Amino acid sequence: MIVFQKVVKSYGSGVNALNGLSIQIPERDFVFLVGSSGAGKTTVIRLINCDQRPTSGAIFVDGVNTGRLGRKDIPIFRRKIGVVHQDFKLLGDRTVGENIAFALRVVDDYGSNSRERILGALETVGLDSKLNSYPEQLSGGERQRVAVARCLVTNPSIVVADEPTGNLDPDSGRETMNLLVRINAAGTTVIVATHNQALVDTMQRRVIALENGQVIRDERSGGYEGG
């Protein structure tokens, strides 16, 4: 369960990215965060992953008050959260396998069974044959699937994706979303921040619409209005 309780996030400009946001996302839910640029979608993603801390209010992830985590606690906490970015964030001078291994090292979870875990994650996304390839040798859709594999290798209970189809053609975008649906069906909570109205319209999942850092709609619906 992810719970935001009256969360405010302010930046130095004096503008609030979130204005008393309160939401609940149960385990195994699939949620789209939608809204125009600046609505607060990316801030929600960053707060869940502890990339940022709230200015006020409280955030609970699986019962843990993230605002009380110390610096040394965060790498262990992040093992339960996989992140998929719009721009893939793959290291160009490392192979696919090395990119995925890097995710294990970041959360201090690289061990004797890491190769098997890496291959398992690549099999999940259908790219086990690309273990020794470099990112420049892959298509955009393949790079995003590697990014998904990288987030899965830590066996997260939650996957957050920030505009995961933003740099993909429509077919690759649908492929990526279908992969996230399969991950959700296996029991993982999935939260997707997106502007891709066409995909949201077809997915028929829960939609939380944000505006000025507040919820303006929360329903299980295929469509939305916004950017």
**Residue 206, SS3?**
strand
CATH superfamily of 2-221: P-loop containing nucleotide triphosphate hydrolases (3.40.50.300)
Return the closest-CA partner of residue 192 out of 43, 32, 53.
32
**Residue 13, SS3?**
coil
Q: Provide the strand spans (E) within 15-106.
A: 16-25, 30-34, 56-61, 64-65, 81-84
Distance from C-alpha of 204 to C-alpha of 197, rounded to nearest angstrom: 12
Q: Which two tokens stand for residue 28?
A: 């195994």
Q: Please report the pLDDT score of residue 227 as a whole number.
A: 39
Spans of the chain below 70 pLDDT: 221-227
Q: Please report the pLDDT score of residue 199 as a whole number.
A: 83
For the chain, the structural domain boundaries read 2-221
Burial pattern 67-77, b for ≥16 Cβ within 10 A else e, equals eebeeeeeeeb
Q: Please report the pLDDT score of residue 221 as a whole number.
A: 59
pLDDT by residue (tens digit) across 7-49? 999 987 778 999 999 999 999 999 999 998 889 999 999 999 9
**Residue 3, SS3?**
strand
Q: Please report the pLDDT score of residue 97 as a whole number.
A: 95
Q: Give the angle 165-51-47 at the CA atoms, nearest 5°.
A: 80
Q: Please report the pLDDT score of residue 85 as a whole number.
A: 84
Distance from C-alpha of 208 to C-alpha of 173, rounded to nearest angstrom: 20
Say how far residue 56 (Cα) sits from the centre of its chain.
Answer: 23
Q: Please report the pLDDT score of residue 95 as a whole number.
A: 96
Q: Please report the pLDDT score of residue 226 as a whole number.
A: 40
What does DSSP say about strands 158-162 and 81-84: parallel, antiparallel, or unpaired?
parallel
Q: Please report the pLDDT score of residue 5 as a whole number.
A: 98
Burial pattern 168-189, b for ≥16 Cβ within 10 A else e, equals beeebbbbbbebbeebbeeebb
The model's pTM = 0.87
Q: Please report the pLDDT score of residue 222 as a whole number.
A: 47
CB 15 within 8 A of CB 24: no
